[in-house]
Amino acid sequence: MVERIPYDEFSMFHENAAEYGIPHDAPPVVSRVSVEVAPGRRLSALKWGDASPRLVFLHGGAQNAHTWDTVALALGEPLLCVDLPGHGHSDSAAAFDPTALPLQQNADDIATVIRALAPDAAAVIGMSLGGLTTLALARDHADIVHKMVLVDITPGINRDKAKQITDFVNGPATFPSFEELLERTIQFNPTRTVSSLRRGILHNALQLDDGSWVWRYRRDDAPPLPEMKGAETEQRPDNSALWDAISGYAQPLLFVRGMRTQSVVSDEDEEELRRRAPHARVERIEDAGHSVQGDTPLELAALIRDFAL
């Protein structure tokens, strides 16, 4: 008999609130929504609140929309947190087009979601891969990116800077038990609480019929997940071309950098961003690594509120 671990994606918000001292008198209004971005292919998102979302959040690679839960609770505003293609509950990305601009296909998909679900959003907030996607969105769909927040990412990221992250992401494709998956996650996230990592795994992994666990994000060498269709290629364009998107963005820009060693941003990256966008507001968070929303969600929420709302 396989022991099943129950999962309800809307049942753990009280844990986020308790961990960070956020008032939680009643469960927040959160719904799972989706948009068809191409025939037979849909992107999924979490819609916070009943009103039209004021902010749109895009997570990093190998994450999902729930990475923003504590930030969303702290803000208490109508929000839209999108699962990127091939992540969370979204279908996989379209077949890779080598003629497309860097992350153009991601940007087109996200633009379709924003126009359908958050047409009045005041800002787009992107972390890591979500930040690069935000830059492509500003380049290709400038009319919907009124303000931009980049969380610990610039187009200067490379394999060396991201090695600690890619070592974790490219680890085992399956785990015999939840405990082994949790143990590996703790090893790579020593500054996070076990309770927060446990929540993160439940949101970002799936228990199979034999009791083993796989990540929800798409991996070519992992068992295909039921809610993901198609396949992704290992080919990727050179994202350094997105520096031009920063140079060309004249709207308000906030850059938030984690200062711990887990960050993927170098001093040279920050200097280049300042050179490309002299008008940008730059904030450093000493107690955060790459996952600023996981390490210091209250500080990040306060910066976003002050900048975008």
CA 74 to chain centre: 17
Alpha-carbon gap, residue 137 to 142, rounded angstroms = 7
Convert 209-229 to b/e letters by CB count within 10 Å (16 or more is b): eeebbbbbbbbeeeeebeebe
CA atoms within 13 A on the CB side of 273: 25
Catalytic residue list: 128, 152, 290
DSSP secondary structure string for all residues of 58-114: E--TT--GGGGHHHHHHH-S-EEEEPPTTSTTSPPPPPP-TTSPTTHHHHHHHHHHH
Pairing between strand 213-215 and 174-175?
A: antiparallel
The residues near 154 (Cβ < 8 Å, ≥ 6 apart) are: 243, 246, 255, 265, 269, 270, 272, 273
